[in-house]
Amino acid sequence: MSRGESRGLKGLVVLKIGGSVITDKTKEMTYRPDVMGRISREVARCWPIPLAVVHGAGSFGHPIAKRFRLNQGYRQQEQLEGFVKTVQSVKALNQMVTEAFIETGVGAVGIPASLLFIAKKNVIETAHLDLIFSALDLGIIPVTCGDVVFDRETRFSILSGDDIVVYLAKALKANRIVFATDVDGVYEFDRTTGRKTLIGRLDYRKHVSLSYGDVEGDDVTGGMFYKVEAAFEAVKAGVKVCIVNGLVEGRIESAIKGEEVHGTVLVS
Ligand code: IP8
């Protein structure tokens, strides 16, 4: 196992692996082991950069959450079936992602967000950061995920992996966040020509002027606009942020290493 010794947190990178990258969002509970295997090998080649990983829930979370209207918080007893099923399902995905790292020789420990955070009105209020620090201190990658969590006000709520990434990056004073999505980055659409162009460097003013289009399918946490909006919180705190295509080999590796990479960099 290559990550066996203490590395400290200097230069920490928080990697968000989108649910649309590691699961097929069109088919409920469909994991992509080949994609996750390749991502694990890219991460292995980034040693010894300290890394924390957050993955999305994809088809293991969004469809059930939508069916039981979990994004409304607790309204009725019947939703509890959806709550516990989502916890179980996301935990199963977290287990598979963590195993993929371990099979590649990368030390990783899965800590589903349902066991890590308590929210208040959808915002993280308490976090057992000791668990994350302890793993990182051992040179082991903590792997958490978008999830349903207990909520002091609404009794439960959905926490997006994007919010968790930003929270962790700020709390751990990360150097960089890498968002691995199923597209190359943020695009600008020209209404007259219909052409779309990748935006290499995106500032906040430009971000709010863009039309991102509708959120697709069963997604209950908001798509690219919401991701970028949350990510600018981290930019404000001095964290470097880039968005790359996690389905294209090599981009996650280059982004973690801080190399020039095809994608979108958020700038202040
Ligand atoms: O896929 C959503 O997390 P995300 C969590 O990171 C659930 O937005 C349970 C839908």
Contact status, residue 120 vs residue 152, Cβ threshold 8 Å: yes
Instruction: Name the phi and psi angles at 156, rounded to 5.
Output: -150, 155
Write down the mean pLDDT value for the chain.
94
Arithmetic mean of pLDDT, 22-29: 95
What is the number of alpha carbons within 13 Å of residue 20 lying toward its C-beta? 18
Instruction: Name the phi and psi angles at 233, rounded to 5.
Output: -60, -45
Hey, which of 54, 143, 149, 158 would you mutate to test ligand 1's pocket, going by the most ligand atoms within 8 Å of its Cβ? Answer: 158
Q: Report how far ligand 1's centroid is from the alpha carbon of 159 (Å).
A: 6
pLDDT of residue 191: 80
Q: Supply 249's token pair.
A: 């080999």
Write out the DSSP string of 202-252.
Answer: EEHHHHHHS---PPPTT-SS-HHHHHHHHHHHHHHTT-EEEEEETTSTTHH
Q: Report how far ligand 1's centroid is from the alpha carbon of 35 (Å).
A: 19
Query: What CATH number corresponds to the domain at position 41?
Result: 3.40.1160.10
What's the pTM value of the predicted model, to 2 decimals? 0.95
Question: Is pLDDT of 115 > 70?
Answer: yes
Q: Supply 126's token pair.
A: 């308490």
pLDDT of residue 6: 41
- Three-state SS for 26-53 is CCCCCECHHHHHHHHHHHHCCCCCCEEE
Instruction: Kindly report, residue by residue over 81-113, the tens digit of the pLDDT.
Output: 999 999 999 999 999 999 999 999 999 999 999
pLDDT of residue 151: 98
Question: Is pLDDT of 4 > 70?
Answer: no
Question: Which residues lie with the beta carbon below 6 Å from any ligand 1 atom?
Answer: 19, 56-57, 61-62, 65, 86, 90, 146-148, 158, 160-162, 220-221
Choice among 153-162, 206-215, 253-262 with the minimum mean pLDDT: 206-215
Instruction: Kindly report, residue by residue over 38-61, the tens digit of the pLDDT.
Output: 999 999 999 999 999 999 999 999
Instruction: Kindly report, residue by residue over 129-185, the tens digit of the pLDDT.
Output: 999 999 999 999 999 999 999 999 999 999 999 999 999 999 999 999 999 999 999
Domain count, the chain: 1
pLDDT of residue 216: 66
Question: Is pLDDT of 3 > 50?
Answer: no
Q: Which ligand 1 atom is at minimum distance from the Cα of 161? A: 6
Question: Is pLDDT of 211 > 90?
Answer: no
Among residues 93, 107, 117, 112, which one has the least CA distance to residue 35?
A: 93
Expressed as residue numbers, the domain containing 146 is: 3-266
pLDDT of residue 2: 47
Q: Report how far ligand 1's centroid is from the alpha carbon of 160 (Å).
A: 5
pLDDT of residue 268: 93
Of residues 216 and 77, the one with the higher pLDDT is: 77
Of residues 214 and 31, the one with the higher pLDDT is: 31
